[in-house]
Amino acid sequence: MNHFRLELLTLPELLIILFVALELLIVVVALTAMLIVRGRAIRREKAFQTTRATLLDAVQRMTGAEPDPTAKSKALAALGSLSRDFARRLLTEMAELAGPTGTAAFEELYAASNLAVEARANAVARPWERLRVIREARALHDPARLLAGLVRDEVPDVRLGAFEALCALSRADEAVVAIPLLAADGRLNRVRAIDAMSSASPLPVQALVELSNSEIADVRQIVVAVLGTARVRQAVQVVVHAVTDPEAEVRIQAVKGLREMNDPSALPVCLSALHDERWEVRSEAARTCGALGGGGAAESIAVLLDDEAEWVRHNASLALSRCGPAGIAALRAAAARGNESASSALAEARLSITEDSLV
């Protein structure tokens, strides 16, 4: 029987065996470490879910028809079993699920746990930590009062997030200061700012009207879009004035805004916009004139059926199809001359009538 003899191995063979043994040891150590880490994560998650169930039950007892005086202490004890970081995360998630009108108990627990200390520390930390603070502030009505400062943050995503949160929390008056900063952050951020501010209530109308005179075109664009989208009737003259703004983007937003406001008194200035030098303005003006003027605007809109820009011809045709008999007559006359946009709009109008008759 042959026996293994170590002294017979050459040096390269010994090195190979050593390397294989080391690799096996590394694999075993790595697997063991992974199992330990995973086990801890599973235990933490179980503790988190258990605390969540306990906290939910305690909050229901706190806010029930007959509040349990011991429920708050039980809820605080449950939160105390978690790290302060996990406690903040849990309260934020549960407040988000509860919705704007059901967060009072979570706000009370947040304050009683003095978690604002960590929030303030994170507010001066890395940008993604500040974004987390903003999410927490939005869910819990800004318990650490940090949003007013974060709206001026040097990082665009942070100040936009704070801006949206302030608008959602009915504190749009504190968010207005960030509009000049957001105006320089690109089209997408401007669109999000417009959506957030136009949905805010109450709307800081006077502050927005003052900003409408800004020397920065992108600021005027945001303000005019907000006033129009929010249908602020008392600011209609501000939007009307913006139809003749030097910047095309502002004029586009103004014409769109007047369509949203649906104020027939704005029709004359919109009719003048049909002759704007920019095709984008003419295109929006055609839609707005059709909405505000109906058949009375058909003759002016019909001029755009021969516009050099295809999109203008398309929108003019659609506008005329909604202008009643005068609009349809203008489309038929243009179609007889071979105008493709008019022919398409007529076909679409006939199809719409057919579908309505079948309903």
pLDDT of residue 11: 78
295-312 per-position pLDDT tens digit = 889 999 999 999 999 999
Q: In whole angstroms, give the CA distance from residue 121 to residue 357.
A: 65
- CA–CA distances in Å: residue 37 to residues 13, 40, 81, 83: 36, 5, 20, 17
255, 329, 262, 265: which is closest to 286 by C-alpha? 255
pLDDT of residue 212: 95
Q: In whole angstroms, give the CA distance from residue 292 to residue 230.
A: 17
**Start-to-end CA span in the chain (Å):** 96
> Angle, nearest 10°, between helix axes 248-261 and 279-293?
10
pLDDT of residue 233: 92
pLDDT of residue 86: 86
pLDDT of residue 82: 84
146, 141, 145: which is closest to 124 by C-alpha? 146
* Tens-level pLDDT at each residue, the chain (359 residues): 556 566 667 778 788 888 999 999 999 999 999 999 998 888 888 877 888 888 888 888 888 778 888 889 988 988 888 888 889 999 999 999 888 778 889 999 999 999 999 888 888 888 889 999 999 999 999 999 999 999 999 999 999 999 999 999 999 999 999 999 999 999 999 999 999 999 999 999 999 999 999 999 999 999 999 999 999 999 999 999 999 999 999 999 999 999 999 999 999 999 999 999 999 999 999 999 999 988 889 999 999 999 999 999 999 999 999 898 999 999 999 999 999 999 998 988 776 654 343 33
- Cis ω on the peptide bond leading into residue 268 (within 30° of 0)? no
pLDDT of residue 312: 96
- Three state DSSP letters for the chain: CCCCCHHHCCHHHHHHHHHHHHHHHHHHHHHHHHHHHHHHHHHHHHHHHHHHHHHHHHHHHHCCCCCCCCHHHHHHHHHHCCCHHHHHHHHHHHHHHHCHHHCHHHHHHHHHCCCHHHHHHHCCCCHHHHHHHHHHHHHHCCCCCCHHHHCCCCCHHHHHHHHHHHHHCCCHHHHHHHHHHHHCCCHHHHHHHHHHHHCCCCCCHHHHHHHCCCCCHHHHHHHHHHHHHCCCHHHHHHHHHHCCCCCHHHHHHHHHHHHHHCCHHHHHHHHHHCCCCCHHHHHHHHHHHHHHHHHHHHHHHHHHHHCCCHHHHHHHHHHHHCCHHHHHHHHHHHHHCCCHHHHHHHHHHHHHHHHHHHC
User: In the numeric block, which tokens belong to residue 41?
Assistant: 């994560």
pLDDT of residue 211: 96
pLDDT of residue 156: 95
170, 187, 152: which is closest to 161 by C-alpha? 152
Q: Token match 């690109």: residue?
A: 186
pLDDT of residue 103: 87
Q: What single letter denotes the amino acid at residue 65?
A: A
- Is residue 88 a contact partner of residue 118, using CB atoms and an 8 Å limit? yes
pLDDT of residue 359: 37
- Is residue 305 a contact partner of residue 297, using CB atoms and an 8 Å limit? no
119, 149, 121: which is closest to 135 by C-alpha? 119
pLDDT of residue 5: 65
Per-domain residue ranges for the chain?
Answer: 118-187
- Is residue 223 a contact partner of residue 214, using CB atoms and an 8 Å limit? yes
